[in-house]
Amino acid sequence: MRVSTVAAATVALLALPIAAQQPTPAPPMRSVRTLDLHRAALKPALAGQLTVDQIKGKNGYGPGFAVPLGDRVTIAQLAEFSLETRDLCRLSLSVYPDANPATGIFYYRPKRYALRFDPQDGYFMTVDYKGSTAEGKNVLVQARLTPGAGTNDREVLTALVRSYLKSTGSRVEPILLPLPATPEAHFDLTDWNIAAVTVNGVDPDTGELVITLSADVPTKELLTGTLGNVNGLVGTVTLKPFVISDQQPMREAISINAEIRMADINGGPPMLWRKAPGGTAELVNSWPFPLAVRHLCYLVQDPTSGALRLRGWRLGDRVLQPGDRARLDPAKLNTEIDSAGAVTAFYDGALQRDDAMVRKAVESLTGGVGALPVQQLGVEVVKAEELFPQYNVYKIAVEVRSAHFDPQGRTQISHTYELDDKTPMVQCDTLYLWSDPGADLYQYRVGVITVDGTVHTDTRWRSPNPTLPTKVFVGAALVEEVLGK
């Protein structure tokens, strides 16, 4: 990646405030109850054939070997810039020129797949309960996975291809077509009582996949719980290219990451910068999660040389809550952002994860029907402001073990929670009540680390207090017992 420098005066001039406005109503938490399965399922073969017909109609031979385009952009005027050139586009920046260079055809493919989110309709995922419980699988989970790309992404990719062609001396006009291939999805769910994931169909207009899996209720709890993790449910989509002609060099399958998780910004609409009719430009956080806005960026192309520069302004890591909006005054921006050479302009941002919001989003997919009852457990140090200095305690660690941390109850799982004078109370991981646990809901033991670094550990596992089983209290008497006083 080539990086250019700019004068300090220019950087100072580009400092731009972003003003928070009155929030709009928070985006809905409902899920789409239909995933348009018929539309997606009836067209994958037809869509592939249309692409093949286009290729043959232009004397194409099929895709050649990949050409990377990510190094064709110079980054300029972006203070403390963390964006990579690969984030310019939701399509892969590796394209495949047709084996017949005279056609100008370049094939593109998704960079990765994410769970689709729409500001009006929420997450494109359903969790429904079937009437039959044959084989213990009575939950049907369907999800629409999107490459997230749209017209804007193809415009960016076209600009990159034009730059590449100019560097080779070619005068052919590029034609971008989706890579003709059959998709196959795979998620490693062998430990989850799920035999397979089915690809129901491919939407020919968006390239989105509709997948289905069947599970029992405990497995569904584990699945929906995983949606709140950092990586979510991770799998791969393998694209197996069609063979167009004998002259086609590239025939190997391509594996692309697929992640089904909440708060994945690539699953929602792109954050494009556009001026409103009144001359202002504003960004609304349409997600049910806080949105940190870092930069306003734009990509500009020199019409003669085809050279591309990425420019922009740092916005100060402002955080927009769900429904909040930020407004920019275009008069304070470099007019280049609105020039004929501008390919795209967009906000660089990241969603912040909040456990309560994640759980609310997950629960909106199920409506609570058929869900396992759960129990929340808290751990608290009693009178922490007195206890820590009195006993020279640096930190207290409480280890909790229970088979109820696993929705299927397959094994005992242990979690350790650390407390100190600044964090004297924590909420534990969810306990799933797949049976009436009685006094066997969990066990715990305590470790005390003193200021001098000495570690004192509990000599036994302790049972919950029968009068208040949802709380583990660590007081002076328990600390003294662990310290041996």
pLDDT averaged over consecutive 10-residue blocks of the chain (485 residues)? 31 39 52 42 49 86 93 72 71 94 94 91 79 55 86 92 92 92 74 60 76 70 70 83 94 91 90 77 90 89 88 82 86 83 90 80 63 80 94 95 82 91 90 76 94 92 88 94 89
Calculate the alpha carbon distances from 322 to 17, 23, 328, 329, 458 in Å. 20, 8, 18, 22, 44
CA dihedral 342, 344, 345, 351 (to 10 degrees): -160
User: Given the DSSP bridges, would you call strands 67-68 and 94-97 parallel, antiparallel or unpaired?
Assistant: antiparallel
Task: Spell 259-269 as b/e; 16+ CB within 10 A means b.
Answer: bbbbbbbbbbe
For residue 266, give the 3-state DSSP assignment. helix
What is the structure's pLDDT at 173? 92
Domains in the chain, CATH or no CATH each: 2-365 (no CATH), 374-483 (2.60.40)
pLDDT for the residue 27 = 52
The alpha carbon torsion through 186, 371, 440, 458 (nearest 10 deg) reads 60
Q: What is the pLDDT of residue 379?
A: 95
Say what the pLDDT of residue 191 is.
Answer: 53
The pLDDT of residue 108: 94
Cα three-residue angle 58-60-65, rounded to 5 degrees: 145
pTM of the predicted protein model: 0.68
**What's the confidence (pLDDT) of residue 11?**
29
CA distance 54 to 324: 45
pLDDT given at position 338: 83
